[in-house]
Structure formats: C-alpha cells, structure tokens
Amino acid sequence: MTEPDPPHVDVPERREIDRMDAVDVDDRAHRPTEDDEEAVLRGLYGEADSYGVYRREVA
C-alpha cells in the first residue's frame, strides 16, 4: 500500500475567507446564460415550485 501524498508545505494553512481576495469575481456571474433561461429550465424540469426552484419530480 502506498502512503498518501503529504500536505503541500509551500501553502500556509488558511481559512477559505482568507483566500477570497484571490477569487476572480466576474460581474456577469449571476446573469442568465441563455436568452430565455426560464423557458429552458421549464422545458427540462417542468414548472418551478413555490420557491422558484425547478425540480424534476420522479414518480
């Protein structure tokens, strides 16, 4: 049995919040990717529920 790789010693232990400054934030991140995203989702999963979530109900 092989030993697991040791942790990277060149990266100091940091919390996720401490790394947020390195995240590339794009202004378009929350925009729809399709011209009519709701129609695409409705076609794939049916109508959205009362929370606005599209779910494919399995019978």
The whole-number pLDDT of residue 56 equals: 81
The neighbour count for residue 6, using CB atoms within 10 Å, is: 6
Please answer whether residues 16 and 27 qualify as being in contact, where contact means their C-beta atoms are separated by less than 8 angstroms: no
More confident residue, 51 or 23: 51
Rg (CA), the chain: 21
Question: What's the structural domain count of the chain?
Answer: 1
> Structural domain of residue 53, as residue ranges?
35-59
pLDDT at residue 8 is higher than 70: no
Instruction: Please state, rounded to an integer, the average pLDDT across all residues of the chain.
Output: 78
- Whole-prediction pTM: 0.42
pLDDT at residue 31 in the model: 78
Rounded to whole angstroms, the Cα distance separating 48 from 43 reads 11
* Within-domain flag for 26: no
Report whether pLDDT(59) > 60.
no
Question: Tens of pLDDT along 22-47?
Answer: 777 777 777 778 889 889 999 999 99
Does residue 28 lie in a domain region? Answer: no
